Amino acid sequence: MKKIIALTLSLAMAASLFACSSSEEVQGQDATETGSGVYTGVGQGFGGEIRATVTVAEDGTIEDVSLEHDGETQNIGTIAIENLPAEIISAQSVNIDVVASATVTSDAIFSAVTDALAKAGIDASALVAKDQGEVVKTAEEITTDIVVIGAGGAGMTSAINLKQAGFEVVILEKMPMVGGNTIKATGGMNAADTDVQAGLEIEDSVEVFIADTMEGGYDINDIDLVTIMAEESSNAINWLDSIGAPLPEVTFSGGATNKRIHRPEGGAAVGEYLTEHLSRVVEELEIPVYLNTTATELIAEDGAVVGVVAESKETDFTFTSKSVVLATGGFGANEDLYTTYAPELKGFVTTNTPGATGDGIVMAEAVGADLTDIEQIQIHPTVEQTTSILITESVRGDGAILVNTDGVRFTDELLTRDVVSANIIAEDQSFAYAIFDQQLRDGLAAVEKYVSAGITTQADTIEELAELIGMDGTVLAETVANWNTMIVAEEDTDFGRTAGMANEIVEGPFYAISIAPGVHHTMGGVKINTSTEVIGTDGNAIPNLYAAGEVVGGVHGANRIGGNAVTDIIVFGKVSAESIIAKLGE
Ligand code: ADP
């Protein structure tokens, strides 16, 4: 669906169109002269083309920028679409900061505007951003019942439950948008013994869920936290249902004995879906969300947390509250921090949003919190390196193979994330290509995003594809032919792969995506008890400080299994609220 956004100043645009029509070309696809007029340009976004219409005044001033796009991601790319036109006009330049978290869309907008300006004879690269002048900061003191830090899944779930119970709550979010890493979750939410499973006649149990999670985590998980997560998972599904966010489909996912991963109808990506619904309820309940506001410090008095210091570009805030919930997510976007614990990850790209910097861990440590499993960091094997777009496991699950730069397979593509990652790293240049065909694309919606983001290479034959990615066509053709033979024979005699072997790679066009491992999930974090109270290095709970979600360690042990991140945030988001409600209600 074509979306038209930011069509501001349309009257001014129309006026300038008439004003300049005598002297300049308008709709400048073909214009070459320098000067005023309305010019259009194109950039390649995450969801396809972004088209800019730029109005240039007689004196060369950028008067208006309006954008059209084919399908940038809601709450990520669309934030850049909404905010950047005004910023470009204000700075009179495209040489300004990207919207954090929406880099691909931001760059596409800059390209589209640059393209349009070039048609006006203006070299956008030479436009120095106008000094916006020094911002005079104000100080604000706010008193509330609870401050929730972080507007991802855990934070919004906690805040909604608190507000529903009648408490005053505010959410602080350092990014310009809500959603955190939660918005990027694709698979679904694991839950056992649910009404949805019962309706679908799926047999499962809390006990098997616990066992699967412990086994997946190499048994170092905190069994008490895992037990709460599994026991409360069914209630969490019901709660989501109650706020209008049902997850009615259930399927298999890696590491689960039974069908347990609950997804939105039609298999839509769970993260975008939940973010949309949670933020809708936050809005309905009129919970204040302070965007672009970074919590910098927890205020402690006599060992108890009594508030939060935070700042935005314009304001220094001091929040005073009865409780604080840390829901700041993980630290997968903070290379300095994760290489402190895992130096071997130096130089890895990350699949995380830029807000995942581990601030909550640093702030909690400063008031005496203990950490657990902090060196446990999950890498995902298939991440496109120029955009950090995660290529979902379903691509391999549906039949793609991985080949090295020589065009040769080197692994069972569906081994666990850590093993496939290690096998890719061991290859020449430490990257590989995922190879698949049109048949796979037709059956997997996610591939459309990769194509529209421009990260796929495509050709009508395997030989041509090989040439485009700089490898020997004969070798790649032989690899694919050999693979197809093994599929027909139902046995991977090379690497013993048993899954994702339903279809041969035969139907052109053929596709390649270049991938290498990237940092994905930080399993470690602050230590909590089963009430989500943060535990200090002295072994006692730090009064009034709670934590939920990826900022917490212990739930996933040494390896998080697919579908457990969402369970973690919804269950422990709820538990944090319930614990505070019980405490403040005393
Ligand atoms: P979870 O999955 O645990 O909910 P997410 O990554 O989805 O975690 O969300 C965490 C949110 O917290 C992100 O939106 C991130 O930008 C935000 N955040 C991180 N550090 C801070 C901070 N210092 N102040 C305010 N918000 C923060």
**pLDDT digits over 157-216, tens only?**
999 999 999 999 999 999 999 999 999 998 899 999 999 999 999 999 999 999 999 999
pLDDT of 186 reads 84
**What residue owns the CA closest to ligand 1's atom 15?**
355
Atom number of ligand 1 nearest to Cα 154: 4
User: Which residues, at least 6 apart from 85, have a Cβ–Cβ distance to it below 8 Å?
Assistant: 6, 8, 64, 65, 66, 67, 109
Quote the ligand 1 centre to 522 CA distance (angstroms). Answer: 13
Atom number of ligand 1 nearest to Cα 293: 25
Ligand 1 contact, 156 CB (< 6 A)? no
Alpha-carbon distance 561 to 188, whole Å?
11
- According to DSSP, residue 35 is labeled S
Ligand 1 contact, 573 CB (< 6 A)? no
Quote the ligand 1 centre to 303 CA distance (angstroms). Answer: 24
Ligand 1 contact, 275 CB (< 6 A)? no
Quote the ligand 1 centre to 8 CA distance (angstroms). Answer: 32
Q: Which residues of the chain fall below pLDDT 50?
A: 1-32
Whether 441 is a known active-site residue: answer no
Quote the ligand 1 centre to 133 CA distance (angstroms). Answer: 30
Ligand 1 contact, 567 CB (< 6 A)? no
Quote the ligand 1 centre to 514 CA distance (angstroms). Answer: 30
**What residue owns the CA closest to ligand 1's atom 13?**
180
Q: Is 74 exposed, middle or buried (0-12, 13-18, 19+ CB in 10 A)?
A: middle
Atom number of ligand 1 nearest to Cα 153: 4
Ligand 1 contact, 295 CB (< 6 A)? yes
Taking Cα atoms as reference points, which of 41, 25, 48 lies closest to residue 114? 41
Quote the ligand 1 centre to 549 CA distance (angstroms). Answer: 9
| Neighbour-count burial for 296-319, b at 16+ CB within 10 Å, e otherwise | ebbbbeeeebbbbebbbeeeebeb
pLDDT of 15 reads 34
Atom number of ligand 1 nearest to Cα 294: 24
Atom number of ligand 1 nearest to Cα 182: 7
From 174, 378, 570, 571, the mutation candidate for ligand 1 (largest count of ligand atoms within 8 A of CB) is: 174
Ligand 1 contact, 308 CB (< 6 A)? no
For CA atoms 328, 331, 333, 334, the dihedral sign is positive
Task: Name the amino acid, one letter, at 111.
Answer: S
**What residue owns the CA closest to ligand 1's atom 3?**
549
Ligand 1 contact, 407 CB (< 6 A)? no
Ligand 1 contact, 180 CB (< 6 A)? yes
Ligand 1 contact, 150 CB (< 6 A)? yes
Give how far Cα 476 sits from Cα of 384, 420, 461, Å.
20, 20, 11
Ligand 1 contact, 549 CB (< 6 A)? yes
Atom number of ligand 1 nearest to Cα 157: 4
Helix (H) or strand (E) segment spanning residue 106: helix 103-119
Atom number of ligand 1 nearest to Cα 363: 23
Ligand 1 contact, 550 CB (< 6 A)? yes
Quote the ligand 1 centre to 373 CA distance (angstroms). Answer: 19
Taking Cα atoms as reference points, which of 233, 169, 150, 149 lies closest to residue 584? 169
Ligand 1 contact, 566 CB (< 6 A)? no
Quote the ligand 1 centre to 380 CA distance (angstroms). Answer: 20
Q: Which one from 417, 441, 497, 560 is the annotated catalytic residue?
A: 417
For CA atoms 110, 112, 117, 118, the dihedral sign is positive
Strand ranges, E, within 409-507: 432-437, 457-459
